[in-house]
Amino acid sequence: MKRIRILHGPNVRYIGQGREPHWYGIQSWQPFWEKLQSRYAHKAYLTYLESAYEGQLVDWVWETDVYDALIINPGALAHTSYALYDALLGCGKPSIEVHVSQIYQRESFRQRLITAKACTGVIVGLGLLGYELAILYLLSYENEDRTFSDIGI
């Protein structure tokens, strides 16, 4: 069973709790998280951590013995954190960066993703569904042909 760690950076916890619903929607993380855990319990061991502190996220990325793959929404740190970039690049684990909002329709500073360059892939603008798509990809990651046939799609 694949162990997938999900990390959230600053302000991500406020999605669905009044934070700019026109960008982030109205669905909050907790019920979505419970649905993900239930849906993928037989295929993956999912863990979720969140911190507004860059150093804490860096430490969690480097805890490579407790996960096989990583999903990260670094929040605003995606645009500023070379420390997080270095950790993602150096940890040696496949990682998918997820952004709930469509950053390419937003302010220009949000369109520069420092951390994404260190990730296996990036999912942008698909709301919370981006996390589920990241899980599906990571479950198939070791397959040479990268098809989804073995995970029921």
Catalytic residue among 24, 85, 131, 137: 24
- Output the CA–CA distances (angstroms, integers) from residue 32 to 5, 51, 56, 131, in the order listed: 15, 18, 24, 10
Q: Tokens for 76?
A: 């605003």
- Strands of the 2-8 sheet, one edge to the other: 44-50, 2-8, 69-73, 95-99, 121-124
Task: Establish whether 99 is a catalytic residue.
Answer: yes
The structure tokens listed for 48 are: 């979720």
- Our answer to whether residue 22 is catalytic in this structure is no
- Which one from 8, 67, 85, 99 is the annotated catalytic residue? 99
Closest-CA residue to 117 (of 149, 68, 147, 74): 74
Active-site residue numbers?
A: 24, 99
